[in-house]
Amino acid sequence: EDKVVQSPLSLVVHEGDTVTLNCSYEVTNFRSLLWYKQEKKAPTFLFMLTSSGIEKKSGRLSSILDKKELFSILNITATQTGDSAIYLCAVEQGGSEKLVFGKGTKLTVNP
């Protein structure tokens, strides 16, 4: 069965800390891996990863994919209270337009 497993399920840090969120997957016909941030409403897109070893970066956030070991990490440096959210990892299956989501990591950044 296709699955995406995120860890940890929740994380509480202080402002300024660096965090690493993990996502491992077992999915048939892998096409891409995506990271989303969900605050109160809609998940918003962060990164889309298709190739191993190429880091994608946006400000304090960065992500990388390892297709051999079947995982990805999302790093957030110098965390701020506004980074508090649920971070969702999803894997897209080729040919089906289907995203399989993990259960998310709830990140809480305290001032």
Could you list the residues that contact another protein (CB under 8 A)?
31-32, 34, 38, 41-45, 48, 86, 88, 90, 92, 96-101, 103-104, 106
Nearer to another protein by Cβ, of 104 and 109: the residue is: 104
- Do the beta carbons of residue 44 and residue 34 sit within 8 Å? no
Considering the complex, what minimum distance in angstroms separates the CB of residue 110 from another protein?
Answer: 20
3-state per-residue secondary structure call for 42-110: CCEEEEEECCCCCCEEECCEEEEEECCCCEEEEEECCCCHHHCEEEEEEEEECCCCEEEECCCEEEEEE
> Which CB, 22 or 32, lies closer to another protein?
32
Q: How far is the CB of 94 from another protein (least distance, A)?
A: 9
* Distance of alpha carbon 49 from the chain centroid: 10
**CB closer to another protein out of 52 and 96:** 96
Minimum gap (Å) between residue 78 Cβ and another protein: 25
Nearer to another protein, 64 or 104 (CB): 104
DSSP single-letter state for residue 40? S
